């Protein structure tokens, strides 16, 4: 596809952005899903045209890092595998997140995949929507037990019950756990998304690239009143999404189909090499439904596994180097690229995270910790319970999540080594005050 792509710091499939360790290509996956053959194509591209580093992102996409000079050949290979947009200008705006369990989750109210296909087709084909920021994002939730509830989105829709009827509750510039602002009938889901995006583009000034920017100036009531002229809004006063345990993305869990399970596996710190991805793809062909699903926790699922082969699949995944146990400390840590691949990184976050995981494991501690090489927080869109913000090589400021505090939360200690962090976290977790 030959088109003059708009300037942006965000990588895409057609826009390779340079980093300290080479180019970055971001492959947006429809609903986080990819076929085994497509996974093989990603592995081949990373091996042939880059340094062999493949990353699972916090929006359930994939990135190839360390790309050399053959940008065109890499892009062509991924396009040939069906991993590109249907229109070049639509690549930036196909930012639609689903639950990794869409269509298979035992707790789902509806299967969101057909609506997701409709929304993605419109985002790519409707030229009016191509003016949206590359960061403008929509979340579609079917009420699954496995869902990312804490990532902020410009628009979110969640299947809900209202007076015995299933509807889409929705919210603006927030997360699924926020109170909804209104609702629409299920059949109006696509119309709602289009209406919200068109109204945003009509009302927002060029510098107002996100919904939160517009709502800081245009009141929510005003926006909803204008929206009600386009789609029939319904009251759903007081509705909030039920919470869920995120560990549903690790290990074996039963699917909606009797006798089938999905297996959740965590690539250490979100990174795979080509051999790992090919191995997982082969397991999907042999034991699953031939697909992989990536998650917002930078992990992956193998759906469609026969329950009686789950243990065998888990063993094979672990042999490939993935983590499948909720008791594995490394499976609960996330870290950005750090100073080895990013010029803004002040510490080797990946290496330090591995050291911290080993120290926590020895102490029998399993904690959700986020290591960030700079304040941009590229590895986590949500606020982790514990955040380590690098201040120099091997040294971090320690934050604990606090709803009353912005950004990472409450600053607890400064300039700690990884050993000091492990000691402090171990002591805190054993304190009766934090039980």
Is the pTM for the entire model greater than 0.85?
yes
Q: What are phi and psi of 366, to 5 degrees?
A: -120, 110
Which one is predicted more confidently, 381 or 350? 350
Cα–Cα distance between 156 and 54 in angstroms, integer?
28
How would you classify the pairing of strands 395-400 and 96-97?
unpaired
For 259-315, write each residue's pLDDT tens digit.
Answer: 999 999 999 999 999 999 999 999 999 999 999 999 999 999 999 999 899 999 999
pLDDT at 346 over 70: yes
User: How many CB atoms are located within 10 Å of the residue 413 CB?
Assistant: 13
Taking residues 109-130, report their average pLDDT: 97
Contact of 136 with 118, CB cutoff 8 Å: no
CA 218 to each of CA 137, 176, 185, 208, 293: distance values in angstroms, whole numbers, following the listed order: 19, 22, 26, 11, 38
Q: Do 331-430 and 109-142+150-228 fall under one CATH topology?
A: yes
Contact of 182 with 170, CB cutoff 8 Å: yes
Domain boundaries, the chain: 17-86, 109-142+150-228, 249-324, 331-430
Contact of 280 with 302, CB cutoff 8 Å: yes
Highest CATH level, class, for 109-142+150-228: alpha beta
| CATH number of the structural domain 249-324 | 3.30.70.3340
pLDDT band at 416 (very low <50, low <70, confident <90, very high): very high
Instruction: Output the pLDDT for position 1.
Output: 45
Cα–Cα distance between 325 and 63 in angstroms, integer?
25
The number of residues making up the chain comes to 435
Instruction: Output the pLDDT for position 2.
Output: 43
Instruction: Output the pLDDT for position 6.
Output: 62
Instruction: Output the pLDDT for position 209.
Output: 96
Cα–Cα distance between 57 and 386 in angstroms, integer?
19
Query: What architecture is domain 331-430?
Result: 2-Layer Sandwich (3.30)
Specify the DSSP class assigned to residue 257: S
């Amino acid at each position: 596809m030959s088109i003059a792509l708009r300037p942006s710091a965000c990588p895409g499939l057609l826009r390779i952005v340079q980093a300290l360790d080479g180019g970055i290509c971001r492959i947006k996956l429809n609903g986080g899903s990819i076929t085994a053959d497509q996974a093989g194509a990603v592995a081949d591209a990373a091996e042939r045209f880059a340094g062999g580093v493949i990353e699972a992102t916090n929006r359930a996409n994939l990135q190839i890092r360390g790309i050399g000079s053959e940008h065109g050949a890499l892009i062509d290979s991924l396009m040939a595998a069906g991993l590109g947009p249907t229109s070049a200008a639509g690549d930036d705006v196909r930012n639609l997140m689903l639950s990794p369990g869409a269509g298979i989750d035992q707790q789902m109210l509806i299967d969101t995949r057909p609506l997701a296909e409709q929304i993605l087709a419109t985002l790519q084909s409707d030229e009016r929507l191509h003016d949206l920021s590359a960061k403008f994002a929509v979340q579609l939730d079917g009420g699954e037990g496995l869902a990312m509830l804490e990532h902020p989105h410009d628009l979110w829709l969640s299947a809900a019950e209202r007076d015995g009827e299933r509807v889409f509750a929705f919210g603006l510039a927030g997360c699924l756990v926020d109170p909804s602002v209104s609702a629409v009938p299920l059949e109006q889901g696509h119309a709602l998304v289009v209406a919200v995006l068109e109204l945003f583009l009509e009302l927002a000034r060029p510098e107002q690239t996100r919904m939160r920017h517009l709502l800081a100036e245009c009141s929510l009531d005003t926006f909803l009143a204008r929206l009600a002229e386009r789609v029939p809004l319904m009251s759903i006063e007081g509705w909030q999404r039920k919470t869920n345990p995120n560990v549903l993305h690790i290990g074996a869990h039963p699917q909606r189909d009797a006798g089938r399970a999905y297996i959740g596996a965590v690539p250490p710190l979100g990174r795979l090499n080509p051999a790992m991805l090919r191995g997982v793809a082969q397991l999907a062909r042999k034991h699953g439904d031939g697909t992989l699903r990536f998650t917002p926790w930078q992990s992956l699922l193998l759906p469609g596994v026969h329950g009686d082969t789950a243990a065998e699949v888990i063993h094979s995944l672990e042999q490939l180097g993935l983590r499948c146990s909720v008791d594995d400390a490394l499976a609960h840590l996330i870290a950005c690229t750090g100073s080895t691949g990013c010029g803004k990184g002040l510490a080797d976050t990946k290496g330090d995270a591995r050291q911290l995981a080993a120290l926590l494991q020895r102490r029998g501690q399993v904690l959700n910790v986020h290591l960030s090489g700079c304040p941009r927080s590229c590895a986590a869109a949500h606020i982790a319970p514990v955040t380590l913000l690098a201040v120099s090589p091997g040294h971090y400021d320690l934050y604990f999540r606090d709803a009353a505090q912005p950004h990472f939360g409450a600053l607890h200690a400064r300039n700690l080594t990884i050993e000091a962090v492990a000691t402090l976290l171990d002591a805190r977790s054993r304190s009766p005050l934090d039980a």
